[in-house]
Amino acid sequence: MLIIADYISNIIDFQHLKNTELEKHRALCRFLVLKNDKISCQWMLALMDVGIICNKGRVAMNKLNWTRPVIRLRTAGTVYIVMTIVLGAVSLNTSNNLFYLMTAMMLGYMLASGLVGRANVRSASVSVSLPDEIYASVPCAVQINVTNKNRFTPIFLIEIALEQENGRTSTLFSIVQPGATESRTVFSTFPERGRHPFEEVELSSTFPFNFFVRYWPVDSQAEAIVFPQPFVCESDATFAVLDEEQEGETPDPLAETDIVGVRPYVEGDSMRRVHWKSSARTGKLQSRLYDGAFANLPRRVVDLDRLISSGLERGLSMAAYVVAESVKSKLPVGLKSGDLLIPPASDYNHKKNLLTHLALYEER
């Protein structure tokens, strides 16, 4: 029996056994057969089968990149299992039919818990919805959706957890009706800009009796593009001065319409709009007013190279602030970085394009 005890200790960490070690255990079984120790041999073969099954389970979980246990015991479950084992041992020693019946009921209760709990987590489908704009170090609302794939029965006590660098965020769905989708909102913070895929989305449930925590793998395709945290900056050294060739690359909508007047020069106005006669007469730069509201807006081009000269992250944060505030004020804004020139515009898609460029700056 000492041999069996030693073998049980090896079974606990069976994933580390090599083929040569397995051959040694098989040879030990043959030795026990020669010694007519049939009981010990049967125990060894049974434990070896259990070990092989456990090892195959670990291999399957590793293929799914599953790093958490499929089932984890709760305190109540541990107490229940110990009571069942004790009652079973008492039943064998006393041969009392009542104890046999109680042991069978407890085992059946545990079996029902396992089957119902497994069906409960298998019926849940999880998806993660992210907001359109996510800024570094700024809390954002992440929507978690759970759909009940079962058409007849509800699912209960579904907990969804998001594992991130700065901690763990979780929410509980107490009940989801058949075929329905329930949503919860959690607040999450991303410490740095860039790509942040949700690789670890954990689905678990203690249903039905809180004996075990059952886990089910979730394949989440959600990926967050985190923009730099906006940082208020002075506008003096923010905008680029474009030469004539670059000015030609930036379209000037409605510039060919009729001139209706002049106004004071605003930083970001194209030099082509300067009315030199009025500027000479007043002593201050004046810009032409065209027949069209959009044509009269100042056109800003953020000089990214100048901003990041004082620090990469600080410069990107200042650029993000200028882009966000310009589009918010309906002012056309562009971006100049090295040989790249993005023409000014003021629509929302243009804003996301500029912020995405800033978020992935090192990757380009």
In the block, which residue shows the tokens 């041992």?
A: 89
Q: What is the pLDDT of residue 260?
A: 53
Q: What is the pLDDT of residue 204?
A: 92
The answer on pLDDT for 180 being more than 90 is: yes
Q: Is the dihedral of CA 18, 20, 23, 28 positive or negative?
A: negative
Burial tier of 122 (Cβ tally within 10 Å: 0-12, 13-18, 19+): middle
59 or 89: which leads in pLDDT: 89
Instruction: Report residue 230: phi and psi, to 5°.
Output: -60, 135
Instruction: Report residue 292: phi and psi, to 5°.
Output: 160, 130
Q: What is the pLDDT of residue 242?
A: 46
* Alpha-helix runs per DSSP H in the chain: 2-12, 19-34, 38-63, 75-94, 97-122, 244-249, 276-282, 304-307, 312-328, 348-359
Residues in the chain: 364
Report the pLDDT averaged over residues 229-255: 54
Structure token pair of residue 248: 């030609």
Q: Greatest CA separation found in the chain?
A: 118
Q: What is the pLDDT of residue 314?
A: 87
138 or 301: which leads in pLDDT: 138
- Residue 194 forms beta bridges with which residues? 226
The answer on pLDDT for 244 being more than 60 is: no
pLDDT band at 272 (very low <50, low <70, confident <90, very high): low
Q: What is the pLDDT of residue 258?
A: 52
The answer on pLDDT for 274 being more than 50 is: yes
Burial tier of 276 (Cβ tally within 10 Å: 0-12, 13-18, 19+): exposed
- Looking at residue 274, what DSSP letter applies? B
Whether the Cβ atoms of residue 258 and residue 290 lie closer than 8 Å to each other: yes
pTM over 0.75: no
CA 72 to CA 62: how far, in whole Å?
Answer: 17
Least confident of 27-41, 61-75, 203-217: 27-41
List, as one string, the DSSP characters of 173-195. EEEE-TT-EEEEEEEE--SSSEE
* Alpha-helix runs per DSSP H in 226-291: 244-249, 276-282
Report the pLDDT averaged over residues 209-219: 85
Least confident of 102-116, 154-168, 284-298: 284-298
318 or 198: which leads in pLDDT: 318
β-strand pairing of 286-290 with 259-264 = antiparallel
Q: What is the pLDDT of residue 57?
A: 47
If phi over 0 gives left and psi between -120 and 50 gives alpha, with beta otherwise, what is residue 301? Answer: beta
Q: What is the pLDDT of residue 275?
A: 72
CA 71 to CA 84: how far, in whole Å?
Answer: 18
The answer on pLDDT for 357 being more than 70 is: yes
Q: What is the pLDDT of residue 206?
A: 92
First vs last Cα of the chain: how many Å apart?
Answer: 65
Q: What is the pLDDT of residue 104?
A: 92
DSSP-derived 3-state class of residue 141: strand
What CATH superfamily is the domain 67-227?
Immunoglobulins (2.60.40.10)
CA 300 to CA 240: how far, in whole Å?
Answer: 8
pLDDT band at 296 (very low <50, low <70, confident <90, very high): very low
The answer on pLDDT for 29 being more than 70 is: no
Q: What is the pLDDT of residue 120?
A: 93
How many Cβ atoms sit within 10 Å of the Cβ of residue 242? 19
Digit-coded pLDDT (tens) for 310-354: 788 888 888 898 888 888 877 888 888 888 888 888 888 999 999
* Alpha-helix runs per DSSP H in 95-184: 97-122
DSSP-derived 3-state class of residue 275: coil
